Structures are given as C-alpha cells and as structure tokens.
A and B are shown apart, each in its own frame.
Chain A
Amino acid sequence: MKIEKIDSILKKHEYRHSEIIGIMQDVQGIENYLPEGTLRYISEKLELSLTRIFDIVTFYKAFSLVPRGRHMIKVCCGTACHLGGAMQNLDRIKRTLHVREGETTEDRMFSLETVNCLGTCALAPVIQIGEDYHDAVIPGKIDNILAAYSAGHERQEVATD
C-alpha cells in the first residue's frame, strides 16, 4: 500500500490510538486485507506496539491478514438455512471453486466463508456474495450464480480500461 495513502488515513483519524479499528477498516476497505508492511508502518507512526495491533487484528473476524478474493461468499449455515440444504450448497461451491472455508481461489476472484446467521431466515437457504443476497439457493443454481460474478468482473475490467 502506498505510504501517502496510509498517511492520509492516519491523518483522518488524527493519529489516535483509540481509532485503531477505524484505521484498519479503512486500510482493509482499500486493500481487501491488512498487509504486514502496512501494519508495521502504522505501528511505527502511531507508536503503538505491533503486538497490540496483532492482537486486535487476530481478534476480530472481520480483519484478514491474507489477501481475500474480489467477491466474498458467505454461506449462511444458521438453523433455517441448514435445514434448507445449506450444506449441500456449500459442498457444491467448494467443489466448483476448489476451495475450503476460509480460503481464497487461486485467481483471487472468490473467498469462501460460512456464517451462522445472516438474519434473513425467510429467504433460506441464503448465500451472500459481496453485497448481494441470493435466496432459495439449490446446488443446481450455484454454477450459474458464480459464473455471473466471474463474467461480470471481466466485463467491468474491459469497461474501465
């Protein structure tokens, strides 16, 4: 991550120790994860020990120390989704993308995660990809849903170039 960018984030938070979570959220918002070098730099600038930062980063599930995919797949495994076949959906995703929970595909397109409840039980079984919710998912639909994201991403790249 560029030094100037980190500096501007730190400035926005007025170099306050109490804002460390906000700072890391901002970094992750840009980078998708928290690069080690960036954290070392932040620790130095804020004069906050690296052990403290490492403690916070590893404490919250929302932070990641490894690069994550462009699209975050969250498979809901709450009671309603579980009964509705969340596990079969999960298996299908794992087989299609060749990843396990907590991992990222080689092309950095998708990261897979399970969550315990997305709070939308009426739509069970639910899968959240990025900001989108997909309801009443069955294994047969999975490949199509995923393909739309892979394809959509490529179109976007062409458009911005």
Chain B
Amino acid sequence: MKVPIIVDGLRVEIDQGTPIINAARKAGVFIPTLCYHEALKPYGSCRLCMVEVVHDKQRRLVTSCNFPAEGGMEVFTDTSRVRQIRRMIVELLLARCPEVLMIRTMAKQMGIESSMFKKREANECILCGLCVRFCEEVVGVSAIGLANRGIDREVATPFKVASDVCIGCGACTYICPTGCIEMVPDEKTPRLRRMKMGNLTLVPCTNNYQCESCPREENFLAEMKNVITEFRSTYRRFTEKK
C-alpha cells in the first residue's frame, strides 16, 4: 500500500513499511549514507542517515535507512539537531580512519578540520558491514563476517583462517566504501590478483576478474554489476554535492 509522506515540505508516496530514506530519494532530497544499499537489507550501523521524524505528535531522531514509513509522517533532513548529530558522527569516523579519502572529503564538506576525539591507531574499516552483507545476500557464500565486539570488532573469516568458501569474485573490494579490502597481485602467481585486508585471507578469482567471460551464472553477474554501478554513482553524487 502506498502512503503519503512529507520530506522537507515535499509530498511523495512510497510503500508502507519501506525505509523512509526511499521517500527522500524519491523527493530528490539527499541524505548521506555509508552502510545503506538498496540491494541489501538495511543494517543501520553508520548512523549517518539520521533524520527527524514527526509522527503522532512525536518528534524523534531516527536512522532513515531502516525506519519504516507510515502514512502522515513528516521527515526533516536538515534541521540543526540533525546537522549536529551528523557532524559528531563524521568527527568520530575521522578519528577512526583519518587516512580514508572519502571520510576526509565528507569532513571537509561539513567544515570539520580535525576531530576532537582521540585518534586510534589508523584503521580503514568503518564496520559498515556492506562487504559482509553483499557476500551473504548477493554472492550467497558468506565467506566473511564480523567478529568480536567493542573496539576489537573487525571483519574476519571464521576462525581467522583462509576462507574455504570465498569464490574470489572481488565484490567485497568493489563495495567497500573506504577501500580497505584491496586487490593485489598474488605473490605466487602474479598473473592472478587476490583480496587483501590485514589478515583476511580470501582467494584469487580463477577467471582473473574478466567478468565478461565469466562462466558463473549470468543473473548473478548482472545483479552484481548493477549494484556496483549504482554504488559508485551514489558516492559520486555525495562527493559532488554540497
């Protein structure tokens, strides 16, 4: 069922129960995100997509990527409260990954010169879980997952040994917004490339990433290609705007 929602004064209709970020996208209102992708289930880990929602006379801050739409909701994406929260999140991210270009660009756009938080030893992973979810939901193998908790949380293969189910598709390297899973030449067979992220051991693609002549299922490749193209355009849009 379609329900009407007002985003920054613009009225749009979206399916009831779908994330309200869809309404914003439909209205052409930009909300920054780091862990959201239409092809994947919402995860709500980066908190960057916070907006204010007024519904049933209540006003509250929610993450727009996983907040289900109800008729009559009014969404505000650019209030001072929202801006303040976003600033805080970007400052925290900047403290975690001072080297990552995308985070630095974001910070710059918000006028953040340096983070007020103590820097940890440089880490590039923001734990958005995109690689994990893509590997599970689209590739369908679940070679990598998240492990540990608190400041030790990290992307890892089970038991931290070389994955025996990774197909070497390289999707995780494409989808990672911070570029911390790299593709590097394999030491033993430099013709092949393999994924590298700290101690994460994934396998090289047997077809050397020549996707055009890949013997894998066509549907899978088509979907993956879509997701990747889309994903890149989302970031381009973000880095160009504001």
Contacts and interface: CB of A to CB of B under 8 A. Distances in A.
A54 B136 contact: no
B219 interface: no
A54 B147 contact: yes
Contacts of A52: 142, 145
Interface string B133-148: 0001000001111111
A150 interface: no
Interface in B122-165: 132, 136, 142-149, 156-159
Contacts of A49: 136, 142, 145
Contacts, number: 33
Interface SS of chain B: helix, strand, loop or mixed? Answer: mixed
A58 interface: yes
Contacts of B156: 54
B144 to A, nearest CB: 6
A54 B132 contact: no
A36 B145 CA distance: 16
A4 B29 CA distance: 58
A54 to B, nearest CB: 4
A17 B160 CA distance: 23
Contact of B157 (A36, A51, A53): A51
B149 A54 contact: no
A65 B158 CA distance: 11
Contacts of B158: 50-51, 53-54
A51 B132 contact: yes
Contacts of B145: 49-52, 54-55
B80 to A, nearest CB: 36
Contacts of A58: 147-149
Contact of B144 (A36, A51, A59, A65): A51
Interface of B: 132, 136, 142-149, 156-159
19 contacts: A36-B159, A50-B142, A50-B158, A51-B132, A51-B142, A51-B144, A51-B145, A51-B157, A51-B158, A53-B158, A54-B145, A54-B158, A54-B159, A55-B145, A55-B146, A59-B147, A59-B148, A59-B149, A65-B159
